[in-house]
Chain A
């Protein structure tokens, strides 16, 4: 049997506003438990929500970037369910009047974008059983996260493969970063993703039975969970069985999905309009004002990089995929206006370093000026490109400037012909056989001699100059 896969993603994006969605508490990550709470986000009796205007601004930005229709009137609703991390017994969310709808991200349709508040966090105290103590068991609740603004972005079931889902997430993250609306950190939970996947035979006109996947904590995790689930469902169908509509949890350690709850157990959230908040009217003027604030988005920037800096399309797409990298690139050009050289270094050395060290662009600490100073020394052949790479790593390790490292280690390339002449003489004398070989027409012998000079100078000699000098010497 041949199958087709239909995937839709639901992404929760924590907005990076300074304060929470309905109160003035800080949203900063990592504070001591329950230190960033008030009557409103704790849902204390009698407290009332007041919408943080910045939240709506940021939501509209994403709607614009994803080509959504923006509601002229939007409203909040209550989603009712019980859980200890949900202080009011309901979540203020949006139901039938979301901020944005009918959008598009490349070839994927965006069903809707809506605002809601995040819940708190349960900390399950794992039993510590020792010989002398009985297990102590309880759960703690940290409400610091409760009331953090979230945007839920629901895609149409337009995604046809796990790889495409991965790419969609990358682009969505990139755009959100450009808009500076979210930290998009899946491990810290500032970006979360649930997936719906169904499988059916290629010739079937209907969609297969939908399975919801939860608990993925990385983009690759989403891809792997979808790959696992695609295979699992294909096997179910091949056995002639039916896929059960259910919610499954991704187990990242075992790389499998497990049943969480079936459709029958699904909650009835009893949505109804939130009476504590008015309807919000989004005027044309407001949208126009936000449009003016919109930054250049990845696609636009990529085009500009190609035309303005004359770098290849591939370079432009890599450089603009992350806002911080693109910013860094442009900052470098202010000090050293050789776009292709800077691009090469960024794509090769810097990206490689970040990958090996597993750090993000945000944490890349080398100042553009210091970085371009290094590039300049290579450019003027003060040091070789290989030396340059070593100095680059040394700079990151020691926080020293390129010039200081070169001076300290005596790495400066020897370009002085008189200085080199003495060493060349010495090498010629010590390798008479190679000299003869070269003179009888073996080009390879020359490279050997160059190598010997480099060895004598511990790599500091300018190889091109050495070659030129050797040729001159051996011809006469």
Chain B
């Protein structure tokens, strides 16, 4: 008999409905699991146990009534620490709920803890968190992937039922792949970004991390939809995603892009993905070779556009209104005062506050990206970097547009390799950046994609990525579900 924390949300919801269990029991099961394994996993940054248990005692209504959802540390929850795993936001509690959080609350979900991440979502391994390093449940010496590594590891280790993450260049799909779970990044504009701490505003999207495809469909249904507070969200109806699960997929045509099966692709990963293609063929799907010719530029383009936006988005962390301020407080000297300066807050001390606050508050990778982003936007370099990258982004978008004239979905590996050892790439940013090579183009094009488990390479999970047309998440889910039903990879659990 499985413990409640091991179950999927849709199963728990059925049991809750029949009153076989209570939401308090779910929360307690999670806490019991945490007590056993959290020391090893370190997936959570913050848990208000009392509040969660109190909340679980209340009668809930809605699509997610009584089920616990874990939340990545970059999504605002009113009155709860939200730090983006950064020191600069130490002590920061937003006064408002992100729209996705409002939706979760409205549908009766119990907000569980805040999951670890790379600082400001800058990273692919969760190692750049200012607070702790999360371990991969399949091999504690390895990274869980990133940046939503805390969410992925917690779900994989049954410390979470399912979770919200965010995906700017693969931050949901890549850790989902490395931890052997399902990770869905919706179309840009499908889910409101209001209340998501911005990294690359034109790329960011909140999505789901779950144990199976049905849970992804369930959670997406709750968080998706137009939000008048997010001008980039699209005013279009949200389909009933679950109704697509179980539909036949014979009529679908799947494209296999040759640019994704390249040198450097791990052999095990390659084999698993090829096997997955065969599974789809057995299900009656036609697979065609396609080309996405500008793929090779995606990583460069991404690291220009995303860092440019990030350098600007992170300017607000200046020590003035919230979070860390150093020195505290910034006051001028007595000599300056008695000299009767017109501006008591002298230029020197203001600059000092900015510099010391940001010096102490930001980690190495954050500083690296701010410098990079500032550089590509600066006078004399803008045309050469930012503007050029923006143009190439259009070409990448067109690649997909062309490709989707020939197929409904595209299959690729999610990550070129399975999880690597903690510390292996942290001092080699370029190597780290290349681990997102298959996930980044999706964000640049703004299209939806999912990563689902498709087997193991040397005992480590491998993820299969399915890409779809804009706002056609239901097709992705339909195909992913069909695959999941014909395999058992998603049922594998790490031994902890």
Contacts and interface: CB of A to CB of B under 8 A. Distances in A.
Interface string A136-159: 011101000000000000000000
Contacts of B348: none
Main secondary structure of the interface of B (DSSP, over half): loop
B289 interface: no
Tell me whether chain A's interface is mostly helix, strand or loop, or mixed. loop
B264 interface: no
Interface stretch (A36-44, A323-331, A466-474): A36-44
A441 B130 CA distance: 110
Contacts of B312: 78, 80, 89-90, 270, 272
Given A80-B312, A126-B344, A48 B94 contact: no
Interface stretch (B157-165, B225-233, B418-426, B469-477): B225-233
A388 interface: no
Interface string A33-60: 0000001001111111111000000000
Interface of A: 39, 42-51, 78, 80, 82, 84, 87-90, 122, 124-127, 129, 134-135, 137-139, 141, 268, 270-273, 275-278
B344 A137 contact: yes
Contacts of A48: 193-194, 229-232
Contacts of B75: 46
Contacts of B337: 127, 129, 135, 137
A272 B94 CA distance: 27
Given A135-B334, A270-B377, A278-B232, A47 B194 contact: yes
B228 A87 contact: no
Contacts, number: 133
B243 interface: no
Contact of B318 (A78, A89, A270): A89
Nearest to B227: A48
B195 interface: yes
Interface of B: 75-76, 82, 84, 89, 92, 94-96, 98, 193-198, 200-202, 228-232, 308-309, 311-312, 314-318, 320-322, 329, 331-332, 334, 336-338, 340, 342-345, 350, 354, 374, 377-379, 382, 386, 390
B231 A275 contact: no
A147 to B, nearest CB: 14
B344 A87 contact: no
A181 B304 CA distance: 40
B201 A84 contact: no
Given A87-B316, A278-B232, A138 B194 contact: no
B315 A82 contact: yes
Contact of A80 (B193, B315, B329, B344): B315
A127 B340 contact: yes
15 contacts: A44-B322, A45-B76, A45-B84, A46-B76, A46-B194, A80-B315, A87-B321, A89-B314, A89-B318, A125-B344, A137-B337, A271-B377, A271-B382, A275-B201, A278-B232
A88 B314 CA distance: 8
Contact of A84 (B309, B320, B338, B340): B320
Contacts of B198: 45-46, 276
Contact of B334 (A43, A134, A270): A134
A273 B334 CA distance: 44
Contacts of A134: 334
Nearest to A39: B96
Given A47-B194, A272-B312, A277 B231 contact: yes
Given A82-B354, A272-B308, A272-B386, A45 B92 contact: yes
Contacts of B382: 270-272
A137 B377 contact: no
B377 A80 contact: yes
Contacts of B311: 80, 270
Contacts of A87: 316, 320-321
Contact of A46 (B197, B309, B340): B197
Contacts of B338: 127, 129, 135
A87 B318 CA distance: 9
B331 A50 contact: no
B316 A275 contact: no
Contacts of B96: 39, 44, 47
Nearest to B331: A137
